[in-house]
Amino acid sequence: MGAYILLAVYIACSGVALLFMKSGAQALSLRLGKGSFQLDMDYRLIMGMALYVVSFLLSIVLMQKMNLTYMYPMAAGLINALVCVAGVLVLKEGVSALAWAGIALITVGVALINFGK
């Protein structure tokens, strides 16, 4: 059961990291001049990058604890669904009816993976 809690934390970290990076990337600025280079990053982009590193480290721990053929499809599917839903709710992005159908299929697929164990 502990591995599934870790999996949930991994999924949350990955999804939130992507949201932070998306919102922080809007303010990214890169300037090149004569002999100079300036990169301005928003705190949200930096937080997103840090969370993404945490999620990467969590994925390595999960690979040690879980069967990769279950862990990765579940995580990838749920991260995609989470990011899509959060994109609509937090970033006010639009999603088509076909995309919602895809999210529903992902959810069914994750459930089938778990039932197939």
pLDDT value at residue 117: 64
pLDDT value at residue 112: 85
Domain ranges for the chain, please list them: 2-115
Per-residue pLDDT tens digits of the chain, which is 117 residues long: 688 899 999 999 999 999 999 998 888 887 887 777 888 888 999 999 999 999 999 999 999 999 888 888 889 888 988 999 999 999 899 989 998 998 899 888 888 877 766
Long-range pairs for 42-48: beta carbons < 8 A, 24 or more residues apart = 44/20, 45/20, 45/21, 47/20, 48/16, 48/17, 48/18, 48/19, 48/20, 48/21, 48/22, 48/23, 48/24
pLDDT value at residue 18: 94
pLDDT value at residue 1: 67
